[in-house]
């Protein structure tokens, strides 16, 4: 297996230009939303809104302003599939359409997926969606085709500020820790890394440097695998099935005993009348 590869996204230098979104769309030949007739959201400067089956990169604008707009801040983050080391989508996929590649990334094979959408419900980050053109689940492939040819993923190639960095995970972690130390030395005390170590789903192969709590960026603080519920849930159900079986048997036995008692009573009464 090749060395694990991935993205380190430093949100502190993202300028929200959305070049990554455009490069991703162009390379992966993803169609425009609504045939290109996209209305403005009217409530944000972000008009591409969300990750979807035809938008595998999305630059989030977190716009925090006071009501009179006298103060505020912008946070920007280029969001993408996290290529989790322990991936919920891969775990639940019943068809084997979702695979782990030799680069430790997670890819959906469109020719195998049958659109059951279990992966959408399983992803703790809300990344996966159905592509309306293929009717299959789709998301970032970390440009698997480009990586196989030794190329840098399109988004990282296009990023003008090096907010999106691509490379071996071990190197990216060193860059991330150095950058974090630099920011903290400059007094940016809220800076933190997200998904760089094994504490989140065994590690995220697309991890982040954030300038606030993960929730501010729409990221869960403690994402988990969907399989955590299988054993307790199945155990309770199995116990319930046994209890129902016992309940049914007790009822049947009671019915039989009542019938036998009634028959015995009738016989006794019959014997009594004969004797009389």
Partner 1 sequence: MPDSFFTASPEWRWWIVFYFFVGGIAGGAFAIAALLRLFGREVDRPLSRLGYYIAFPGSIISGILLIADLKRPERFWHMLIQSETFAPAFKWWSPISVGSWGLLLFGLFSFLAFVGGLAEVGILPRGLQALVQGGLGAVVNVLGGISGFFLAGYTGVLLSTTNRPLWSDTVWLGLLFLLSGFSTGAALLILLSWRQNLPALAWLKELDTWVLGLELVVLIVLLATVGMAVLRPVLFNAWGVLLVLGVVLVGILVPGLLHYRPLLGRLTVPGAALLVLVGGFVLRVVMLLSSEAA
Q: Which residues bind partner 1 (CB under 8 A)?
A: 88, 91-97, 111-118, 120-130, 135-136, 215, 218-224, 226-227, 229-230, 232-234, 236-237, 239-241, 243-245, 247-249, 251-252, 255-256
CA dihedral 32, 33, 37, 41 (to 10 degrees): -130
* Beta-strand runs (E) in 14-150: 58-65, 72-79, 98-100, 106-108, 129-131, 136-138
Q: Do the Cβ atoms of 29 and 145 come closer than 8 Å?
A: no
219 burial (CB, 10 Å; 0-12 / 13-18 / 19+) is buried
Please, what sign has the CA dihedral across residues 190, 86, 138, 147?
positive
Q: Which is nearer to partner 1, 23 or 97 (CB)?
A: 97
CA distance linking residue 273 with residue 35, whole number of Å: 93
> Closest Cα partner for 220 from 35, 93, 88?
88
Write down the least CB distance from residue 56 to partner 1, Å. Answer: 14
Q: Judged by CB, which is closer to partner 1: 182, or 233?
A: 233
Query: CA–CA separation, 172 vs 1, rounded Å?
Result: 19
Q: Give the nearest distance from C-beta 178 to partner 1 in angstroms.
A: 29
Q: How far is the CB of 186 from partner 1 (least distance, A)?
A: 30
The least distance separating partner 1 from the CB of residue 87, rounded to whole angstroms, comes to 12
Q: Are strands 129-131 and 106-108 parallel, antiparallel or unpaired?
A: unpaired
């Amino acid at each position: 297996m090749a060395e694990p590869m991935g993205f380190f996204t430093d949100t502190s230098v993202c300028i929200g230009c959305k070049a990554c979104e455009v490069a991703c769309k162009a390379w992966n030949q993803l169609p425009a939303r609504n045939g290109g007739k996209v209305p403005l959201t009217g409530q944000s400067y972000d008009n591409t809104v969300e990750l979807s089956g035809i938008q595998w990169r999305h630059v989030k604008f977190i716009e925090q302003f006071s009501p009179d707009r006298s103060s505020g801040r912008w946070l920007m983050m280029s969001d993408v599939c996290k290529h989790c080391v322990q991936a919920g989508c891969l775990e639940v996929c019943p068809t084997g359409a979702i695979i782990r590649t030799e680069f430790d990334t997670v890819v959906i094979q469109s020719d195998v997926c049958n659109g059951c959408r279990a992966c959408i419900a399983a992803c703790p980050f809300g990344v996966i969606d159905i592509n309306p053109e293929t009717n299959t689940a789709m998301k970032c492939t970390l440009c698997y085709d480009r990586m196989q040819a030794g190329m840098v993923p399109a988004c990282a190639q296009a990023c003008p500020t090096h907010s999106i960095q691509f490379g071996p995970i071990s190197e990216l972690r060193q860059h991330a820790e150095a950058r974090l130390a630099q920011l903290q030395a400059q007094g940016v005390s809220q800076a933190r890394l997200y998904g760089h170590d094994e504490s989140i789903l065994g590690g995220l192969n697309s991890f982040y440097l954030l300038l606030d709590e993960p929730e501010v960026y729409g990221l869960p603080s403690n994402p988990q695998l969907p399989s955590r519920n299988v054993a307790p849930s199945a155990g309770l159900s199995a116990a319930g099935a046994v209890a129902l079986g016992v309940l049914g048997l007790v009822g049947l036995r009671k019915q039989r005993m009542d019938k036998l008692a009634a028959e015995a009573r009738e016989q006794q009464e019959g014997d009594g009348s004969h004797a009389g």
